[in-house]
């Protein structure tokens, strides 16, 4: 997949005809994947390439009062782009949602961006809106000379899959359900940093993760996780939150990696969230904590 960062339509120099996917795809869940699958099918039929034009950050950042959460993503950028490539995107055009772009009408968007992208087909979701006049996909059908394909939503348990639902699941620690909606496992990147080193004194040394991306992290609790270190995957268990048994004051992400003894301070690792085991609780003492950690370990190892 080729990635182009553009400021406006004048930066687009697309030479091949495309099947163009439109939308802002943060979670890349199964509903989003249906759009890419549809685009790939039409591209094969029309001997075209699949192109996607989207924004680096959510347009909500521009229209809403500042809130740090609006700058957070379900996936870190490299993961997001790698998944787009995996789902069949050949050309990815990234741009900022600026006040200047926000003034572009739906018709002007068609005559500039879509035209410059040499689209013979446009694929959008059922709830797609575009242009300063907030037109629906039916407007595309009336004004775009090519084919417009509107993809219906994908539901699980009778509920439409959405990015907001996935974020709610992450916020409550239900990463197992979030992964079901995504169709792949949620992951977080970080650098291993020094912590209090209490874990090694009780037989459970941990790698403390310093986040390097603006991504959502599951709520406090203990989780079954996998971790990728130096390109190799290991099973692990991870605690999120304040270490209340030791009167911890700050929230941390601590990973106990099974069958791993190397020192990896300063190294980047990827943490893959699989399922929540339990809540974070205060134990009466170290013996009770270790006893619970042994139970947690067996759950994680046998997951």
- Answer whether residue 174 is part of any domain: no
Residues 252 and 296 in one domain: yes
Whether 179 is in a domain gets the answer no
Q: What are 93's strand-pairing partners?
A: 4, 53
Answer yes or no: is 257 within a domain: yes
CATH number for the domain harbouring residue 199: 2.40.30.30
Verify that 197 and 148 share a domain, yes or no. no
149 and 237, same domain (yes or no): no
70 with 207, same domain?
Answer: no
20 and 145, same structural domain?
Answer: yes
* Alpha carbon distance 189, 18 (integer Å): 33
> Does residue 116 lie in a domain region?
yes
The parent domain of residue 40 ranges over: 2-156
- The pLDDT value recorded for residue 205 is 85
Domain termination residue (choose one: 102, 135, 156): 156
Which tokens hold the place of 145? Answer: 């000379």
Q: What was the pLDDT predicted at 204? A: 86
The reported pLDDT for the residue numbered 238 is 97
What string of pLDDT tens digits covers the 303 residues of the chain? 999 999 999 999 999 999 999 999 989 999 999 999 999 999 999 999 999 999 999 888 877 777 788 889 999 999 999 999 999 999 999 999 998 999 999 999 999 999 999 999 999 999 999 999 999 999 999 999 999 999 999 999 999 999 999 999 999 999 999 999 999 999 999 999 987 656 666 778 899 999 999 999 999 999 999 999 999 999 999 999 877 655 555 788 999 999 998 999 999 999 999 999 999 888 777 888 889 999 999 999 999
Split into its structural domains, the chain has a count of: 2
Q: What CATH number did the domain enclosing 45 receive? A: 3.40.50.620
Beta carbons within 10 angstroms of residue 45's beta carbon: 10
Task: Examine the domain organization and report whether 66 and 190 are in the same domain.
Answer: no
Same domain, 69 and 6: yes
Instruction: State the distance between the two ends of the chain, measured CA to CA, in whole angstroms.
Output: 35
pTM of this structure: 0.92
Per DSSP bridges, beta strands 252-257 and 147-151 are unpaired
171 located within any domain = no
pLDDT at 143: 97
What integer pLDDT is reported at residue 81 of this predicted model?
96
Q: Which residues contact 50 (CB under 8 A, 6 or more apart)?
A: 18, 19, 21, 36, 39, 40, 43, 88, 89, 90, 91
Given 136, 156, 176, which residue is the final one in a domain? 156
Reported as half-sphere exposure (CB side, CA atoms, 13 A), residue 157 has a value of: 6
CB distance 80 to 57 below 8 Å: no
Tokens 């890349």 belong to 28
């Amino acid at each position: 997949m080729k990635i182009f960062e553009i400021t406006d339509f004048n930066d687009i120099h697309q030479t091949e005809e495309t099947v163009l996917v439109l939308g802002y795809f943060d979670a890349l869940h199964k509903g989003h994947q249906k759009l890419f699958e549809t685009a790939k099918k039409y591209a094969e039929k029309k001997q075209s390439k699949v192109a996607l034009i989207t924004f680096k950050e959510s347009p909500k950042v521009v229209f809403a009062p500042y809130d740090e959460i609006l700058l957070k993503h379900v996936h870190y950028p490299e993961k997001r782009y790698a998944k787009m490539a995996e789902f069949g995107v050949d050309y990815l055009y990234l741009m900022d949602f600026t006040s200047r772009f926000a003034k572009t009408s739906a018709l002007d968007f068609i005559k500039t961006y879509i035209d410059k992208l040499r689209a013979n087909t446009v694929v959008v979701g059922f709830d797609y809106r575009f242009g300063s006049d907030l037109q629906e996909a039916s407007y595309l059908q009336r004004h775009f000379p090519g084919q417009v394909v509107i993809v219906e939503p994908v539901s699980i348990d009778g509920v439409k899959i959405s990015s907001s639902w996935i974020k709610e699941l992450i916020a409550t620690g239900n990463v197992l359900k979030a992964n079901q909606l995504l169709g792949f496992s949620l992951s977080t990147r970080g650098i291993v940093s020094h912590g209090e080193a209490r874990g090694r004194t009780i037989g459970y040394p941990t790698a403390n993760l310093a986040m390097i991306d603006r991504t959502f992290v599951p709520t406090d609790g203990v989780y079954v996780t996998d971790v990728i270190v130096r390109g190799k995957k290991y099973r692990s268990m991870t605690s999120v939150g304040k270490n209340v048994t030791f009167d911890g004051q700050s929230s941390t992400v601590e990973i106990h990696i099974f069958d791993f003894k190397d020192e990896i301070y300063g190294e980047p690792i990827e943490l893959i969230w699989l399922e929540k085991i339990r809540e974070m609780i205060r134990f009466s003492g170290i013996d009770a904590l270790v006893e619970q950690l042994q139970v947690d370990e067996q759950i994680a190892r046998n997951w």
